Amino acid sequence: MRAYRGMTFLLAATTLVLGLTMLVIGLSRGATGGIVLGSLFMVAGGGRLYVLRGRR
C-alpha cells in the first residue's frame, strides 16, 4: 500500500508540474491551448493530491 500511495503522489505531482510548465509557456507565447490545457492539468494534479491527502 505504501508503494501505491508513493506512486500516486509522484504521478499527481508530475501532472501538477507539467500543467504549471504548460501554463507558463502558454502565457509567454500567447497560446490559448497551452493556457487551457495547463490549467486543466494543474487542477487534475492538485485535486488528486488533495484527495490523497485526505486518505489515511
Name every residue whose Cβ is closer than 8 Å to that of residue 41 and which is 6 or more positions away in sequence: 15, 16, 18, 19, 22
Nearest to 44 by CA among 24, 25, 21, 18: 18
pTM attached to this predicted model: 0.84
Question: Tell me: the pLDDT tens digits for 14-54?
Answer: 999 999 999 999 999 988 988 999 999 999 999 999 999 87
Cα 35 to Cα 16, 27, 32, 40, 44, distances in angstroms: 14, 6, 5, 9, 14
12 three-class SS = helix
Overall size of the chain counted in residues? 56
Q: Which pLDDT score is estimated for 54?
A: 79
